[in-house]
Structure formats: C-alpha cells, structure tokens
Amino acid sequence: MVFQFIIEEQKGKREFSCQMRGAILCGYTGRNQSAVRKHIEELKKEGVQPPPSVPMFYPKPHPGISLEEDIHVEGQETSGEVEYVILTDRDRIYVGVGSDHTDRELERMDILKSKQVCPSVLSKNLWDYGEIKDHWDSIEIRSWAVDDGERTLYQDSTLSTILPPEELIRLVQQRVDGSLEVIAIFSGTPPLVTEQILFSDRFEGELLDPILNRKITFGYSIHTLDWFKT
C-alpha cells in the first residue's frame, strides 16, 4: 500500500511516497512514571487491566493505517489518542502526528484487538527530525474531542513527556525482524486533561513547534455502524 506524504522542511516542501509495511503502536511510554501511572489509572477506570510490563508494543498491519479525514468503526465506544509518529527511511527520520484510535469496549477484553479493529490515523504532513532534534522537548502536542460541533481540549502536553525517537526506535527494533524502514511508530500518548475518556464524532490533534513557528494538524470524523440493528 503506497502512502503519499508532504515533507515540510525549512527550505520548502517536497513529496514523499512509501509503501508502508505496517505500524507499531507503543503504549505507556511516558518519561515521567507518575504520568504513566496516571494513564494506567485512567484506563483502569474504564475496566482496562494494567499492562504486564511497560512500555508495551502492539503490531498493526498496513491496511489499518489511514491518512483519510473519515474513519468507520463498529463500536459506539471508540476514541482517539494523539501521538507523535515517526517513519524511518534509510538514514532519515520523519515526524508526524496521529491517533491510535481504539475501541474502548473491546479494550477491556483484548488490548491488541481493540487497536486493530479501528484505523490508526496519521497526518499527511511530516517534519524532518534533523530540523527539530535540538528543541524536541519544547514541541507541543495536543488534541480535541469534537461532539456536535463543540470542541473540548482533550490532551495538552509537550514531547518532553514521551520517550524520544531514538529510544523508541531502539526498543521497537528489539521486537522487529529486519529494518524499521517505512514502519510507522506511534509514540504512545500523553495523559488526558479531562476527567474521563470522551466519545465524540470527531477527533483533532496537532504538533506545534514554537521555535520554528510551524505546526502539523490532522483531524478525522468518526462514523459508527448505526444502520444495523443488533
């Protein structure tokens, strides 16, 4: 499956296409262990059992990755999680933003399946990691849940709260045979700023670079299978 991206560099924009092999969805990757425990507690309130170890890694076949602005899900209790996403290509690392959209009802029974039944959405625009490496921790990451047109801030943090790309690549490589080229690595997510998980009809997120004064945004509408009576 060929994916088309736009690389945003300081000197301009260029196209980048690749035949995506799949994705690795990382979980519980916070640098601050108290924040990790907070996220585990957020999930525990929803009936999700604590992980056997941290961090965790979940594989995903390439058909489950989407660049589209609409996704279709079966369950009524699904929600997004904003994450930075990295793609490696030879000696280059590209960074985007995405969402590990998850079926929360199924998550209570099987975390891997809860992630595989929903598309993982990735921004069409990427940055060259070499241009942002020196101020990585200052980059802001946030998301909004949008329901009936009402936009609610859902996550608001900086990349300093999540393991950096080099560390994620090192950890993921231990679980993957062969090269990591054109495997999308979803970083894991910062804590929520709301008191609970929100189910909405749209999810939006962004990376904001205050040093180079630019941002990458993405958003998608969530369509449930509401035409079938159970």
Question: Nearest to residue 157, comparing CAs of 220, 112, 113, 97?
Answer: 97
What distances in angstroms separate CA 88 from CA 53, 123, 127, 180, one per listed residue?
26, 15, 12, 7
The whole-angstrom separation of Cα 123 and Cα 130 is: 19
Q: Output the six-digit token pair for 121.
A: 């959405």
Q: What is the pLDDT of residue 75?
A: 86
User: Which range has the worst mean pLDDT, 49-53, 99-103, 119-123, 192-196?
Assistant: 49-53
The whole-angstrom separation of Cα 46 and Cα 111 is: 12
Highest mean pLDDT among 31-40, 50-59, 126-135: 126-135
Name the average pLDDT for the chain.
Answer: 93
Q: What is the pLDDT of residue 143?
A: 98
The whole-angstrom separation of Cα 188 and Cα 172 is: 12
Higher pLDDT, 230 or 60: 60
**This prediction's pTM:** 0.93
Mean pLDDT of 57-85: 95
Report the share of the chain in percent with pLDDT over 90: 77
Element (H, E) at 44: helix 33-45
Q: What is the pLDDT of residue 216?
A: 98
User: Which range has the worst mean pLDDT, 44-53, 67-76, 140-149, 156-165?
Assistant: 44-53
Q: Output the six-digit token pair for 79.
A: 């929600």
pLDDT higher than threshold 80 for residue 43: no
* pLDDT band (50, 70, 90) for residue 50: confident
Q: Is 53 exposed, middle or buried (0-12, 13-18, 19+ CB in 10 A)?
A: exposed
Q: Where exactly are the structural domains of the chain?
A: 2-224
Q: What is the pLDDT of residue 41?
A: 81
The whole-angstrom separation of Cα 157 and Cα 135 is: 15
Pick the CATH number of 2-224 from 3.30.420.40, 3.30.70.100, 3.40.718.10, 3.90.850.10: 3.90.850.10
Q: What is the pLDDT of residue 18?
A: 92
Q: What is the pLDDT of residue 170?
A: 95
Q: What is the pLDDT of residue 37?
A: 79
Q: What is the pLDDT of residue 28?
A: 87
Q: What is the pLDDT of residue 59?
A: 95
Q: How many CB atoms lie within 10 A of CB 45?
A: 10
